[in-house]
């Protein structure tokens, strides 16, 4: 191919990154069409945000003042609401997960057919274990610093998609995660 970076020995690495970037945009576009633009998602997200912030406020207040039974019941109610909304949100996202996974799989297959057995980059370190299996996948030769398409694609998938979601505001609300971890169910009942 005659394109600007063809002089570099490992310009294929840039090709992999470029394709991964386009794939990430396509996946987010799919997610937007199937999930984020719908009213039910917006309502769910809004209720999760409200519930998690309300919960934080109530937790803070309950630390300052003596705990009352009515307070505990309110906290229980908000927690239940948060859990239900989080579960609904997970089910909602699962719908588009299949489509996105299919796109990622197809793109991986495409890249695999283009770059199988080809060294697309050179690692500045010696990988070991699972990382080496991934980075040396499908390659001939004994040099552990040879990098296959699969490893580069994996790094791109995590870094580009995560940051793209963050940038576009599609990242999952923290309340959904915090609701599960920071407020375990047994606490309110024992108090």
Partner 1 sequence: MKEGKSVKLNHQQPHQNGHLSPSKFAKLFDPEASWDKDQLGDVLHWIRQVLGLACGFLWGSIPLVGGIWFILFLALSTGIIYSYYAVILKVDEEEFGGHGALLQEGLFASITLFLLSWILVYSLAHF
How many residues form the binding site for partner 1 (CB under 8 A)? 36
150 contacts partner 1 (rule: CB under 8 A): no
- Write down the number of H helices and E strands in the chain: 7, 2
* Closest listed residue to residue 28, CA positions, set 158, 168, 174: 168
46 contacts partner 1 (rule: CB under 8 A): yes
Nearer to partner 1 among residue 21 and residue 88 (C-beta): 21
123 contacts partner 1 (rule: CB under 8 A): yes
103 contacts partner 1 (rule: CB under 8 A): no
CB of 33 to partner 1, least distance (A): 22
CB of 184 to partner 1, least distance (A): 13
* Two structure tokens written together for 184: 């375990």
* Closest listed residue to residue 170, CA positions, set 182, 159, 179, 161: 161
Contact 135, 149 (CB under 8 A): no
Contact 106, 14 (CB under 8 A): no
Query: 21-30 b/e with 16+ CB inside 10 Å = b?
Result: eebbeebbee
In this structure, the number of other CB atoms found within 10 A of the CB of residue 6 comes to 9
Nearer to partner 1 among residue 88 and residue 154 (C-beta): 154
* Two structure tokens written together for 13: 């690495």
**DSSP state, residue 67:** P
CB of 120 to partner 1, least distance (A): 8
List 1, 9, 142, 186, residue binding partner 1 (CB under 8 A): 9
162 contacts partner 1 (rule: CB under 8 A): yes
Nearer to partner 1 among residue 69 and residue 141 (C-beta): 141
182 contacts partner 1 (rule: CB under 8 A): yes
What are the residues binding partner 1 (CB under 8 A)?
5, 8-11, 13-14, 17, 46, 49-50, 53, 56-57, 60, 121-126, 147, 152, 154-156, 158-159, 162-163, 166, 169, 173-174, 178, 182
């Amino acid at each position: 191919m005659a394109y600007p970076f063809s002089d570099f020995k490992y310009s294929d690495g840039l090709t992999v990154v470029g394709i991964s970037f386009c794939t990430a945009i396509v996946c987010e576009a799919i997610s937007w069409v199937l999930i984020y633009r719908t009213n039910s998602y917006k309502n769910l997200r809004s209720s999760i945000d409200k519930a998690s912030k309300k919960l934080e406020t109530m937790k803070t207040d309950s630390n300052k003042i003596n705990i009352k039974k009515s307070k505990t019941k309110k906290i229980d109610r908000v927690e239940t609401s948060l859990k239900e909304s989080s579960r609904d949100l997970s089910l909602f996202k699962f719908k588009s997960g299949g489509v996105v996974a299919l796109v990622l799989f197809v793109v991986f297959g495409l890249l695999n057919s283009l770059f199988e057995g080809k060294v697309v980059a050179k690692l500045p370190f010696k990988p070991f274990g699972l990382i080496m299996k991934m980075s040396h996948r499908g390659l001939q030769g004994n040099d552990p610093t040879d990098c296959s398409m699969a490893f580069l694609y994996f790094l791109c998938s995590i870094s580009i998609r995560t940051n793209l979601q963050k940038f576009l505001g599609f990242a999952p609300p923290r309340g959904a995660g915090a609701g599960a971890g920071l407020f375990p169910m047994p606490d309110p009942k024992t108090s």
